[in-house]
Chain A
Amino acid sequence: MDHTASPAAPARPETAARPSRLTRLRDSDLAHSFRAHPSAMLAAAVLALVALSAVLAPLITPQNPYDLAALELWNSEIPPIWQAQGQWPYLLGTDTQGRDILSAILYGSRISLIIGFASVLLALSVGLSLGLVAGYLGGWVDNVIMRVGDVLLSMPFILIAILITAIATASLPAGLRDVLAAPILIFAIAVPSWVQYARTVRASAMVEAKKEYVQAARLIRVPAWRIMLHHILPNCLTPIMVAATLNFGLAILSEATLSFLGVGMPPDQPSLGTLIRIGNQYLFSGLWWIVVFPSVQLCLIVLSVNMIGDWLRDALNPKLR
């Protein structure tokens, strides 16, 4: 892994003799392991398909589910296409307002994936920087950062996220609430999750900071940020990658849970969780497709991410090689 993780090597005279990045990736241990695990390959394929269909949603869906003008009430409550009253082009049926379920799912997956990805990115950048600083500098800085982390870990994840969204929404003027719903969610999910990265990086930063190469670098006055970013960080990327993958699944799950509880995405820009919340109201009226298909999509996404994460953890674990 080290060769891909180390900072990009500037062009050197021997570059021509070395295999290209792509070939090196293809021949790496990780790629071999990937090809040996059909479940990981399947999960990656499903995830790629979901991501692709979410990106291309405006091009491939029969209607724009947010465009109220496109909704026709006489097209409401149509069951999926394989049932007797099913109608083309509503493959998975429509909801009570005539919104195509498949279109809503693809647009919803888009929101869910973006929020999940962005919150992991935010948690990663905050966690890595704070962890590096804490481990490298030590002393009171370390103490403050880790104590804050302790407090965050002493409250359940979901509770912190709910509190943040609730307070943020309550203190914003009504007009801004829906506009800022996604950024608030990203922030609310990132706050309880940066601690894990910070702890991991801090542990290796403390070990690395004492090593001779770091002291040598310090002696020749390499700036502290450069030592942290270019020398210490690459050494702890492996566990971070696994944690980030698994947290991506957790983030999507958390977003869905918050939206389901009614403190997440509003109904006019629904994520998968919002769709399930809406469908949940029709549970007893026989309109099962409104709630079941978004749920299936959500489970499919989280399951694929977790399977990739599981495989990555085993593949990168030197003890299991």
Chain B
Amino acid sequence: MIAFLIKRMANAAFVMLAVALLAFVIFRFFGDPVEMMVNEQATQADRAELRERLGLNDGFATQYARFVTNAVQGDFGISYRNQQDVMVLIKDRFPATFELVLVATVISLVVGIPLGVITAVHRRSRLAQALQLGSIVGVSLPSFVVGILLILGFSVSLGWLPAFGRGETVQIGWWSTGLLTPSGRAALVLPAVSLSTFQITLVMRLVRAEMLETLRSDYIKFARARGVPAARVQWRHALRNCLMPVITLTGMQIGNLIAFALVTETVFQWPGMGMLFIQAVTFVDIPVMAAYLLLVSLIFVVLNTVVDITYAWVDPRLRDDSARSGGAHG
């Protein structure tokens, strides 16, 4: 187990170093950092001095090592666009994205699990077949189209819910939350629903597949034979054994949801990290892009590694590395 643990951690560290290399290459070679930072009037000597001070004259390996060391300490430099510390910018925007992803995840579980159970239990019914069809529609709808249609329906036509912004927020330490005010909660509804559509269908399909498998097993037959009510067998005995893969999927998908939140955030003008990233892309604000890339990849890699290790801990057969399967695919 220890050997597996070390191997898995080393693998994760390797991946992060590779991503950091990528971020560093982007940072260093696309657009000259000096040109981005100085103003028009700067003399040649000023520029040379800044170049020296930033360490841009050092060797590639030295610069990369410095980049990694700084990144580990949360130092990603200064944003080209508004001269602010990149880490402060991200810290300001992180709560908005986190709350959006959290609520979307909760919605996907609360809606997806019951739908999955229903489609598995009443497999041949009209309802189940309609839901099954609906799940294909769910994966095919682009999330920005869902967002736009929700805005058209609930904001423009009905005027029930706000179409953009985060509403009023409350500051708790450095964390700003919209969950405590009525306008904050109202503003969260449409973005969270639109972000969760894809995830709902994913959860529903997984629960259905797992339930179909479990309902055939002996202990379920035995429970039925003993006269346990059907609903209790399905929703307690069977569902419980299906939840482990659902939790895994939910965990691994959080990285994807954070990445996909940037689309939702653009549609709803949600002031999160994703919008920060898209703005950085439009202004070629490379330090912000590099920091966002590293942060999202870190979340992704950590979640995958934790899931792998948990699985190996539960099931010793997986500790043999050859059995390790693909991991998440977005």
A-to-B contact residues, CB < 8 Å? 39, 147, 150-151, 153-159, 162-163, 166-167, 170-171, 192, 196, 199, 249, 253, 256-257, 260-263, 276, 280, 283-284, 288, 291-292, 295, 298-299, 302-303, 305-307, 310
Decide: B142 and A256 in contact? CB cutoff 8 A: yes
Q: Which residues of B contact A262 (CB under 8 A)?
A: 278, 282
Decide: A284 and B156 in contact? CB cutoff 8 A: yes
B191 within 8 A of A: no
Q: A162-B281, A167-B26, A257-B144 are in contact. Are A153 and B329 (CB under 8 A)?
A: yes
**Contact digits for B194-219, partner A, Cβ 8 Å, 1 yes 0 no:** 00000000000000000000000000
B300 within 8 A of A: yes
Inter-chain CA distance A113–B28, complex, in Å, is 36
Inter-chain CA distance A132–B97, complex, in Å, is 41
Decide: A155 and B142 in contact? CB cutoff 8 A: no
CB within 8 Å of A: which B105-129 residues: none
Decide: B330 and A156 in contact? CB cutoff 8 A: yes
Q: A283-B151, A284-B156, A295-B149 are in contact. Are A157 and B330 (CB under 8 A)?
A: yes
Q: A155-B300, A261-B266 are in contact. Are A249 and B330 (CB under 8 A)?
A: no
Q: A151-B19, A154-B297 are in contact. Are A299 and B140 (CB under 8 A)?
A: yes
Interface class of chain A by DSSP: helix
Inter-chain CA distance A154–B20, complex, in Å, is 12
Inter-chain CA distance A305–B139, complex, in Å, is 11
**Contact digits for B279-298, partner A, Cβ 8 Å, 1 yes 0 no:** 00110100001000100110
Q: Which residues of B contact A256 (CB under 8 A)?
A: 142, 144
Tell which of A151, A170, A292, A302 touches B18, judged by Cβ atoms closer than 8 Å: A151
Inter-chain CA distance A167–B290, complex, in Å, is 12
Decide: A298 and B142 in contact? CB cutoff 8 A: yes
Inter-chain CA distance A154–B29, complex, in Å, is 23
Contacting chain A: which of B49-57, B242-250, B253-261? Answer: B253-261
B104 within 8 A of A: no
Interface contacts beyond A162-B262, A261-B281: sample of 9 additional A-B pairs, CB < 8 Å, sorted by A? A155-B297, A156-B259, A157-B330, A158-B260, A159-B259, A166-B281, A280-B148, A295-B148, A298-B142
Tell which of B15, B141, B328 touches A299, judged by Cβ atoms closer than 8 Å: B141
Decide: B136 and A310 in contact? CB cutoff 8 A: yes
**Contact digits for B7-26, partner A, Cβ 8 Å, 1 yes 0 no:** 00001001100110010001
Decide: A150 and B15 in contact? CB cutoff 8 A: yes
B-to-A contact residues, CB < 8 Å? 11, 14-15, 18-19, 22, 26, 30-31, 133, 136-137, 139-145, 148-149, 151-152, 156, 163, 255-256, 258-260, 262-263, 266-267, 277-278, 281-282, 284, 289, 293, 296-297, 300-301, 304, 326-330
Nearest residue, chain A, Cβ from B17:
A151
Q: A167-B26, A257-B144, A283-B152 are in contact. Are A306 and B282 (CB under 8 A)?
A: no
B73 to chain A, nearest CB (A): 22
Tell which of B136, B289, B297, B330 touches A158, judged by Cβ atoms closer than 8 Å: B330
Nearest residue, chain A, Cβ from B258:
A156
Decide: B142 and A156 in contact? CB cutoff 8 A: no
Decide: A261 and B142 in contact? CB cutoff 8 A: no
A299 to chain B, nearest CB (A): 6
Decide: B263 and A260 in contact? CB cutoff 8 A: yes
Q: A154-B15, A154-B19 are in contact. Are A199 and B326 (CB under 8 A)?
A: yes
Interface class of chain B by DSSP: helix
Q: Which residues of B contact A249 (CB under 8 A)?
A: 140
Decide: A283 and B156 in contact? CB cutoff 8 A: yes
Nearest residue, chain B, Cβ from A277:
B144
A selection of 8 A-B contacts at a CB cut-off of 8 Å is A39-B133, A151-B19, A154-B19, A154-B300, A154-B301, A199-B326, A253-B140, A260-B144
A218 to chain B, nearest CB (A): 24
Decide: A302 and B284 in contact? CB cutoff 8 A: no
Tell which of A166, A280, A302 touches B142, judged by Cβ atoms closer than 8 Å: A302
Inter-chain CA distance A306–B300, complex, in Å, is 26
Decide: A276 and B140 in contact? CB cutoff 8 A: no
Decide: B148 and A261 in contact? CB cutoff 8 A: no
Q: Which residues of B contact A156 (CB under 8 A)?
A: 255-256, 258-260, 296, 300, 330
Q: Which residues of B contact A299 (CB under 8 A)?
A: 137, 140-142, 145
Decide: A306 and B148 in contact? CB cutoff 8 A: no
Decide: B152 and A163 in contact? CB cutoff 8 A: no
Inter-chain CA distance A60–B330, complex, in Å, is 38
Decide: A298 and B145 in contact? CB cutoff 8 A: yes
Decide: B328 and A292 in contact? CB cutoff 8 A: no
Q: A170-B30, A261-B263, A292-B152 are in contact. Are A155 and B296 (CB under 8 A)?
A: yes
Inter-chain CA distance A163–B289, complex, in Å, is 8
Q: Which residues of B contact A153 (CB under 8 A)?
A: 326-330
Nearest residue, chain B, Cβ from A252:
B142
Q: Which residues of B contact A303 (CB under 8 A)?
A: 136-137, 140
Q: Which residues of A contact B140 (CB under 8 A)?
A: 249, 253, 299, 302-303, 305-306
Q: Which residues of A contact B31 (CB under 8 A)?
A: 170-171
Decide: B284 and A166 in contact? CB cutoff 8 A: yes
Decide: B136 and A276 in contact? CB cutoff 8 A: no
Q: Which residues of A contact B259 (CB under 8 A)?
A: 156-159
Q: Which residues of A contact B137 (CB under 8 A)?
A: 299, 303
Q: Which residues of B contact A253 (CB under 8 A)?
A: 140, 142
Q: Which residues of B contact A159 (CB under 8 A)?
A: 259, 293, 296
Decide: A306 and B293 in contact? CB cutoff 8 A: no
A169 to chain B, nearest CB (A): 9
Inter-chain CA distance A163–B14, complex, in Å, is 21
Decide: A288 and B15 in contact? CB cutoff 8 A: no
Inter-chain CA distance A254–B215, complex, in Å, is 37
Q: Which residues of A contact B297 (CB under 8 A)?
A: 154-155
Q: Which of A199, A263, A284 has the most CB of B within 10 A?
A: A284
